[in-house]
Structure 1
Amino acid sequence: MMEERTMKKYIISLAFVLAAGIPVFGQTSYLSEIKIVNREVVKTGDRQANVKMTVSLDNLDMKNQHSLRVVPVILSADGSQQQELPSFVINGKVRDKVQQRTEAFEDTDLNPDAVVKVRRKNGTAQTLDYDASVPFKRWMIGGDLRLRAYVTGCALCDEGDENTSTGDIFPPMTPAYYSPFLQPKEEIVKRRSETRSARLQFRQDSHRIDPKFKNNAAELDTVRNSISLVEDNNDLTITGIYVTGYASPEGTFAYNMKLSERRAKAFTEYMKDDLKSVDPKLYHVDWKGEDWVGLRAEVVKHPQLLKIDEVLNIIDNCGDDKDACEEQLKALVPPEIYKRLLNEMYGPVRRNEYRIEYNVRHFDLAEGKEMIKTRPDLMSVSEIQKVADSYGKGSPEYIDCLMRGAKAYPNDVTAVNNAALALIEANRTDEAIRLLENAPAEGELLNMKGVAYVKAGQYDKASQAFSEAQTKGYSQAGENLKLLKQYVEYMAE
Structure 2
Amino acid sequence: MKANNISKILFFGLSFLLAEQPTKAQPILDGRVTVSNLAVSRADEKLFVAMDIDVSALDLKTNLEMLLTPTLTQGDAIVTLPPVLIAGRNRYYHHLRNGLTPDDATLYREGCIGVIEYRAVIPYETWMNTATLSARSQVRGCCGAPLSDADERLTALGFEPEKRYFVPVPVYVRPEAEAKILTVEGSANIDFPVNRTEIYDTYRNNPVELRKILATIDAVKADADTKIIGVTIKGYASPEGTYANNERLAKGRTQTLREYVQRQYDFPESLLTTDYEPEDWAGLERFVETSGLADRTAILAVIRSDLAPDAKEWRIKKNYPEAYAYLLANVYPGLRHSDYAVKYEVRAYTDVAEIRRLLKTQPQKLSLQEMYMAAQEMEPGSDEYAETFEIAVRMFPDDPTANLNAATTAMMRGDLKRAERYLSKAGDRAEALYARGVLAALSERYDAAAAIFEEARGRGIAEAEEALRQVGELANEPK
Q: What is the TM-score normalised by the length of structure 1?
A: 0.53
Give the superposed CA RMSD: 5.1
CA contact (8 A) 1:243 1:286 kept: yes
Determine helix, strand or coil for the equivalent of 1:364: coil
CA contact (8 A) 2:403 2:425 kept: no
CA contact (8 A) 2:166 2:442 kept: no
Match of 2:377 among 390, 407, 413: 390
Q: Aligned partners of 2:382, 2:418: CA distance in 1, in Å?
A: 16
Determine helix, strand or coil for the equivalent of 2:278: strand
Displacement of 1:269: 0.5
Q: Which amino acid aligns with 1:421?
A: T
Q: Aligned partners of 2:274, 2:184: CA distance in 1, in Å?
A: 16
2:273 is equivalent to residue 287 of structure 1: no
Q: Which amino acid aligns with 2:337?
A: R
Displacement of 1:283: 0.9
Distance 1:292 1:273, change over 3 A: same
- Aligned residue for 1:273? 263
Distance 1:285 1:395, change over 3 A: same
- Aligned residue for 2:33? none
Q: Aligned partners of 1:361, 1:449: CA distance in 2, in Å?
A: 33
Percent of paired sites with the same residue: 26
- Aligned residue for 1:61? none
Distance 1:289 1:442, change over 3 A: farther
Determine helix, strand or coil for the equivalent of 1:390: coil
Match of 1:211 among 195, 198, 201: 201
Match of 1:201 among 191, 208, 233: 191
* Deviations, residues 156-198 of structure 1 (Å, cap 9, x unaligned): xxxxxxxxxxxx99x98978999853321111x3222222212
Aligned residues: 324
Distance 1:207 1:372, change over 3 A: same
* Deviations, residues 364-399 of structure 1 (Å, cap 9, x unaligned): 232212222222111111001111221122211111
Distance 1:220 1:304, change over 3 A: same
Q: Aligned partners of 1:263, 1:429: CA distance in 2, in Å?
A: 54
- Aligned residue for 1:299? 288
Q: Aligned partners of 1:454, 1:395: CA distance in 2, in Å?
A: 24
CA contact (8 A) 2:227 2:345 kept: yes
- Aligned residue for 2:106? none
Displacement of 1:285: 1.6
2:406 is equivalent to residue 419 of structure 1: yes
Q: Aligned partners of 1:423, 1:385: CA distance in 2, in Å?
A: 16
Q: Aligned partners of 1:207, 1:324: CA distance in 2, in Å?
A: 25
Matches within 5 A, 1:323-402: 323-333=310-320, 335-365=321-351, 366-402=353-389
Q: Which amino acid aligns with 1:328?
A: R
CA contact (8 A) 1:179 1:447 kept: no
Q: Which amino acid aligns with 2:329?
A: N
Distance 1:391 1:262, change over 3 A: same
2:234 is equivalent to residue 244 of structure 1: yes
Q: Which amino acid aligns with 1:184?
A: P
Displacement of 1:419: 2.1
Deviates more, 1:252-261 or 1:377-386: 252-261
CA contact (8 A) 2:234 2:275 kept: yes
CA contact (8 A) 1:239 1:282 kept: yes
* Deviations, residues 68-118 of structure 1 (Å, cap 9, x unaligned): xxxxxxxxxxxxxxxxxxxxxxxxxxxxxxxxxxxxxxxxxxxxxxxxxxx
- Aligned residue for 2:45? none
CA contact (8 A) 1:248 1:349 kept: yes
* Deviations, residues 270-325 of structure 1 (Å, cap 9, x unaligned): 1111223x33441112222223223222334x34232323333333x333622222
Displacement of 1:329: 2.5
Distance 1:305 1:182, change over 3 A: farther
Match of 2:309 among 322, 325, 329: 322
Distance 1:398 1:204, change over 3 A: same
Q: Aligned partners of 1:455, 1:349: CA distance in 2, in Å?
A: 55
Q: Which amino acid aligns with 2:177?
A: E
2:393 is equivalent to residue 406 of structure 1: yes
- Aligned residue for 1:308? 296
Displacement of 1:458: 12
Q: Which amino acid aligns with 2:219?
A: L
Q: Aligned partners of 1:298, 1:307: CA distance in 2, in Å?
A: 13
Q: Aligned partners of 1:212, 1:294: CA distance in 2, in Å?
A: 27
Q: What is the TM-score normalised by the length of structure 2?
A: 0.54
Distance 1:322 1:490, change over 3 A: farther
Distance 1:336 1:427, change over 3 A: farther
Q: Aligned partners of 2:362, 2:225: CA distance in 1, in Å?
A: 11
CA contact (8 A) 2:293 2:323 kept: yes
Q: Aligned partners of 1:330, 1:179: CA distance in 2, in Å?
A: 64
Q: Aligned partners of 1:304, 1:456: CA distance in 2, in Å?
A: 50
2:254 is equivalent to residue 264 of structure 1: yes
Deviates more, 1:450-459 or 1:361-370: 450-459
Q: Aligned partners of 1:347, 1:447: CA distance in 2, in Å?
A: 53
Structure 1, unaligned runs of 5 or more? 1-30, 33-141, 147-167, 464-473, 480-485
Q: Aligned partners of 1:314, 1:399: CA distance in 2, in Å?
A: 52
Q: Aligned partners of 1:324, 1:174: CA distance in 2, in Å?
A: 70
Distance 1:388 1:454, change over 3 A: same
Q: Which amino acid aligns with 1:259?
A: L
Q: Which amino acid aligns with 2:315?
A: Q
Determine helix, strand or coil for the equivalent of 1:181: strand
Distance 1:253 1:385, change over 3 A: same
